[in-house]
Chain A
Amino acid sequence: MNDQITILHVDDDEDIRAITELSLNLGPGFVLHQCASGPEALKMAPEINPDVFLLDMMMPEMNGEETWERLKNDVGMHDIPTIFMSARAEEEFAKHLVEIGAAGIITKPFDPMTLGQEIRDTLIARAKDHADDQTDSSDNVLKFGT
Chain B
Amino acid sequence: MVKISRFSVRQGLIEPARRYAVVCAAIPMAIFALLEGLLHIEETFNLELGAFLGTEIWLNGFLGESNELVVGILLIGLSAAFAILVLDRCRSAGRLKQEMQSYVEQNSRVSFQLKALNSHAMVSEADNNGRYRFVNENWQKVFGYTLAEVIGQRDDLLLDEGGLTSDFTELRAKAAKGRVISIEQNLRTKSGKMVVTHTTILPKLDKEGSFLGTVTIRTDISDLRRSQNDRFLTSMLKGLHEEMYVYTVEGRQILFMNDQALKRHGWNLEEAKSNRFSIMNDLPLNQLVWNVDKAKPDRITNSSELFDSSIFNEYVGPLLSGEAKEAVIQARHNGDYIEIVTTLQSHQDGTPIFVSLLRDITDAKLEENRRLENVSTVSHELRSPMTSIKGSLRLLKSGVAGVLDEDTARLVEIADRNSDRMMAVLNDILDFEKIVAEKLDYDLTRVRMAELVHDAVEMNSGYALQHNVEFVEGAKIDQAWVNADSGRLMQVLTNLMSNAAKFSPEGGKVVVAVSDQGNNWRVSVSDKGPGIPPEDYDKVFQSFTQLKPVDGKNRKGTGLGLAISTKIIAAHDGKLEFDSTVGEGTTFFFDLPKLIVGDLPENSDMVLAAE
Contact = CB atoms under 8 A, between A and B. Distances in A.
Contacts of B430: 88-89
Contacts of A16: 384, 387-388, 391
Contact of A112 (B376, B377, B384, B395): B395
B384 A13 contact: yes
Given A88-B427, A109-B390, A23 B395 contact: yes
B133 interface: no
A22 B395 contact: yes
B398 interface: yes
Contacts of A58: 380
A13 B388 contact: yes
* Highest count of chain A CB atoms <10 Å: which of B387, B395, B430: B387
Contacts of B448: none
A129 B386 CA distance: 33
Interface in A88-115: 88-90, 92, 108-113
A9 to B, nearest CB: 13
B385 to A, nearest CB: 8
A69 B390 CA distance: 31
Contacts of B441: 92
B439 to A, nearest CB: 9
A109 B380 contact: no
A26 B244 CA distance: 68
A75 interface: no
Taking residues whose C-beta sits less than 8 angstroms from the other chain, chain B's interface range is: 20 to 34
A110 B384 contact: no
A15 B388 contact: yes
B380 A19 contact: no
Nearest to B394: A112
A110 B380 contact: no
A87 interface: yes
Contacts of B398: 26, 112-113
Contacts of A88: 379, 383, 427, 430
A19 B392 CA distance: 7
Contact of A109 (B377, B379, B387, B395): B387
Contacts of B236: none
Interface in B384-421: 384-388, 390-392, 394-395, 398, 400
A109 B393 CA distance: 12
A108 B423 CA distance: 10
A26 B398 CA distance: 10
Nearest to B377: A89
Going nearest first, the 7 A-B pairs with the smallest beta carbon separation are A19-B391, A15-B388, A109-B387, A89-B376, A87-B383, A109-B390, A112-B391
Given A88-B379, A89-B377, 18 more contacts: A16-B384, A19-B388, A19-B395, A20-B391, A22-B391, A22-B395, A26-B400, A88-B427, A88-B430, A89-B383, A90-B380, A92-B441, A109-B383, A109-B386, A109-B390, A109-B423, A112-B391, A113-B395
23 contacts: A13-B384, A13-B387, A15-B388, A19-B388, A19-B392, A20-B391, A23-B395, A26-B398, A87-B379, A88-B379, A89-B376, A89-B377, A89-B380, A89-B383, A89-B430, A108-B384, A109-B390, A109-B423, A110-B387, A111-B391, A112-B391, A112-B395, A113-B394
